[in-house]
Amino acid sequence: GDSVTQMEGPVTLSEEAFLTINCTYTATGYPSLFWYVQYPGEGLQLLLKATKADDKGSNKGFEATYRKETTSFHLEKGSVQVSDSAVYFCALSDQGTGRRALTFGSGTRLQVQP
Amino acid sequence: ETGVTQTPRHLVMGMTNKKSLKCEQHLGHNAMYWYKQSAKKPLELMFVYNFKEQTENNSVPSRFSPECPNSSHLFLHLHTLQPEDSALYLCASSQGERGEETQYFGPGTRLLVL
């Protein structure tokens, strides 16, 4: 079945540091890939997505590139801020299976210190 | 973000109680979802509804009973729950047919079963 693997957290960085959160996946069909963010006390918000190989999703300074050859969708940001502290979830939606539900990774907590 | 609302935000119930969670989406979407978010576990899909019809039940125990009276409202009826059912229950909605569409999440109901 489909699965998503994320790096374990928490990730602790100083403000303005470079961020990478690794995400790899396995899928039987042709997945779309997503990064969601969950701020404390809130639900999940879409951060960015990519629907086919080599697409790059970007939003709020975050980027991720759909790499089919390495089955990866790593999240990056060049300079993090304290306000980026949250839990980040990588997810996929496998169009080939016909399922509409998302398969999520376990989440990575990011803590940015001033 | 008020596109998907959930009530109540917090709920404490005993194992013999009956309660219901409510979700409402104001986005005109045709699909709605229930997810369970437990500590240290990936988000787990529970149910999917498409145009009011249940299209997926992810082996959820019968003590959880969903209801979707129309495309805008989704309920989760709870009965004789167990302490291990304590979690954050998230509702989401989406529009589309192919599975790559974005899911929009509500803020969740944090449930504590005593």
In this predicted structure, what is the pLDDT of residue A8?
A: 82
Name the band, by pLDDT with cuts 50, 70 and 90, for residue B40. confident
Of A44, A100, A105, the CB nearest to B99: A100
Average pLDDT over chain B, rounded to an integer: 91
- A46: its two tokens: 């879409």
Cβ atoms of A87 and A37 closer than 8 Å: yes
Residue A106 to chain B, least CA–CA distance (Å): 4
Cβ atoms of B56 and A99 closer than 8 Å: yes
- B89: its two tokens: 């229950």
Of A44, A51, A103, the CB nearest to B105: A44
Mutate to test the interface with B, among A39, A100, A108, A109 (most CBs of B within 10 A): A100
In this predicted structure, what is the pLDDT of residue B101?
A: 76
| Closest residue in chain B to residue A47, using alpha carbons only | B102
Q: Look at residue B96 and tell me whether its pLDDT is greater than 80.
A: no
Q: Nearest-CA neighbor of B60 among B72, B74, B73, B77?
A: B77
Cα separation, A105 vs A34, whole angstroms: 10
What is the block-wise mean pLDDT of chain A (114 residues), using blocks of 10 residues?
89 96 91 93 91 94 96 97 96 75 91 96
DSSP state of B110: E
C-beta atoms of A42 and B42 within 8 A: no
Q: Look at residue B99 and tell me whether its pLDDT is greater than 60.
A: no
Collapsing DSSP to helix, strand or coil, A81 comes out as coil
C-beta atoms of B40 and A105 within 8 A: no
- B35: its two tokens: 């997810």
In this predicted structure, what is the pLDDT of residue B97?
A: 65
Q: Read off the pLDDT of each residue in B39-45 and give the average, rounded to a whole number.
A: 84
In this predicted structure, what is the pLDDT of residue A97?
A: 63
C-beta atoms of B43 and A104 within 8 A: yes
Q: Does the CB of B21 have a partner CB in chain A at under 8 Å?
A: no
